[in-house]
Amino acid sequence: MTAATHSTLFPRDPGGSAYSAPPSGADAVLDGLDPEQREVATTLHGPVCVLAGAGTGKTRAITHRIAYGVHAGILQPATVLAVTFTNRAAGEMRGRLRQLGAHGVQARTFHSAALRQLHYFWPKAVGGPLPRIIERKVQLVADAAAACRIRLDRNELRDVTSEIEWCKVTQTVPADYAAAAARRGREAPRDPAEISQLYAAYEELKRNRSVIDFEDVLLLTVGILQDRHDIAEQVRSQYQHFVVDEYQDVSPLQQRLLELWLGERDNLCVVGDASQTIYSFTGATPDHLLDFRTRHPGATVVKLVRDYRSTPQVVHLANGLLAQASGRAADHRLQLVSQRDPGTEPVYTEYADEPAEAEGAARRIRALLDDGTPASEIAVLFRTNAQSEIYEQALADAGIPYQLRGAERFFERAEVREAGAALRGAARFGANDALLDDVVDLPSQVRAVLSTKGWTSEPPAGSGAVRDRWESLAALVRLAEDFARARPTATLADLVAELDERAAAQHAPTVEGVTLASLHAAKGLEWDAVFLVGLAEGMMPIAYARTDEQIEEERRLLYVGVTRARVHLSLSWAVSRSPGGRPNRRATRFLDGLRPGSGTTAGTRATGGTGGIERGTGGSDPGSPRERRRRSRTPARCRVCGRTLTEAGEMKLMRCEDCPSDMDERLYERLWEWRAGRARRIGQPPFCVFTDKTLIAIAEAVPEEESDLARIPGVGLRKVRTYGADVLAICAGQEVADGDGSN
């Protein structure tokens, strides 16, 4: 398991740096950087936005940027604050900066930087010591529930706690929760009115007990900087240059803190990739990244698309996934270009059932190990933690060591331990248990026992702890069904003995092992070989992803999984859950047109990319030779302001995203309604008819003839033949039948 920064093209010493000793000067810092990375490193004044695709060396670019500024005497180390999202990433950044000779630069998480300032300024701003920070807020939420006379089990406590955290990072107050949750399409774990009540009671308890929580660190820092201009100026005099990594994951609260740190200045460099936004459920949003040029018109935008991590075959699949995406993040996707030698094609495998899929993955992993691939350079990635058990067992049966990342081992989960105890008690005293009076077969006995622990025949709506618990219990039910099928005379006591044996076999400690992880836990990591498993509809996208935005986030999650692989990539799914079951599953829709046998292959192997450098209106002289040469290479220009267009979505509109639109709003609404109906009729997502950008372009152009319509990017002759008559009629103000036959 390796941080996602290693590449054979970036040689490392044992300490992980490209240098065995710090570079001798500013020019030496730039050695080995590609042209776009070098642009990031040398553009030290004004706002800079780095759109960095997976595997393109973004951490390398921004650490060399800071080091170059320090060695050139442009940046004073103590005035630079580099911010990222995890302690691991911050530690890696600090290590790289030290190895590059940039000592004294602060590299911290948002919370770490805010807490440091809060400790320093609290006595001056408020007086007295900073209130104690509670390590875990679950107990306080439980006390709030008791005060409100609302009963919450342990899993509901976790989910309500997560909702409170989401409210705070999105700056939502208790009274606004219901409306905010509905607006964002959140699946509330309890009645929204109850969550509002619990949230308000939780905040009151904190005040009464003089404690604060993790999110309060940011909220209180924001409050002090807003209210005390003298303190804000003191902070701004200390930090004068900011770098923010993983900017697509910034929450509204973190963005507000960043704005207060900056003040009226613009010495800011942000780095991110909207196509890797996979944490929107925590309040993260790519809008700040996508709107950066709107807020900073003079910004320099640098696109990193040279992928140093993955082979052309892996990159081709990643590009193909995003080529089918829709939504705002998709409009800003980057076309990666592999810099590695060709490798093997991704392997797509359909299995009869889930146990066969797990055993197949174990066989292929054994072959890789026998060929010399280290176990630590292999990963099995799945959508939910509940899927880990069958792969834990398959690897254990094959004698392959493994390590589980980001979750407890299956048999160590609290709900699995509780279920095991309940089954053990039922096996011992079942004859006297009325719960088992009317059930005779083993699976029915297990269902009856586990129904007292939260298992139901239908899964709960939404995600969160309740769903995770149900998935774990459902895995036990499936295991009982499989066990009974293999041993028809087995008793409940036999099943308990089997569970005990499985648990014991998986408790042996492992140091060097194959990584088992969820797709979310794999973000920021990479391996030589990656197995993406369970890629069937209902799991990818997950069943509770219903809105277009949720479906597109699932697509991005699969994209993150694909881009974790350097050389070997395996994608698999099972058509049935268990041996002998109905084969009623199909591979994820995201692979349609990409895997062999699924229709026309989407996209072509990329030979060029959309990387490059783009300066804002205040960045350089538009009449300079350099600008004239750049315009001559990319002649598409905005029909409003004349700026060069490089984004696919902007080129569809033939104008900048933030330039004024002359769109006929009523026409757009009629086109949107017609498209929705047409999509329902053909059983396809709306973007398969026309993308949002194409609809906007049509509403702006208001074509009168087929030739006018065909010239609009995103239409083409095929769609003119299919939809042209309807679209032209709507543009002419005529009534047409909508897509599902109504008027």
Q: Which positions make up the binding site for ATP? A: 52-59
> CB count, 10 Å around CB of 92?
19
> CB count, 10 Å around CB of 739?
20
Rounded-to-integer distance, Cα 724 and Cα 718, Å: 9
Rounded-to-integer distance, Cα 666 and Cα 741, Å: 21
Tokens linked to 721: 């033949």
Do 331 and 291 contact (CB within 8 A), yes or no?
no
316 Cα distance to chain centroid? 20
Rounded-to-integer distance, Cα 568 and Cα 528, Å: 6
Residue-wise DSSP of 663-682: --HHHHHHHHHHHHHHHHHH
> CB count, 10 Å around CB of 267?
18
Let me know if 445 is exposed, middle or buried by CB neighbors in 10 A (0-12, 13-18, 19+).
buried
How large is the C-alpha radius of gyration of the chain? 28
Rounded-to-integer distance, Cα 150 and Cα 123, Å: 38
Rounded-to-integer distance, Cα 155 and Cα 453, Å: 11
Q: Is 372 helix (H, G, I), strand (E, B) or coil?
A: coil
Rounded-to-integer distance, Cα 389 and Cα 409, Å: 8
Do 48 and 302 contact (CB within 8 A), yes or no?
yes
Residue type, 474: A
Nearest to residue 363, comparing CAs of 349, 382, 345, 377?
349
Query: C-alpha angle with apex 685: 681 to 687, nearest 5 degrees?
Result: 115
Nearest to residue 169, comparing CAs of 110, 113, 252, 99?
252
Binding-site entries? 52-59
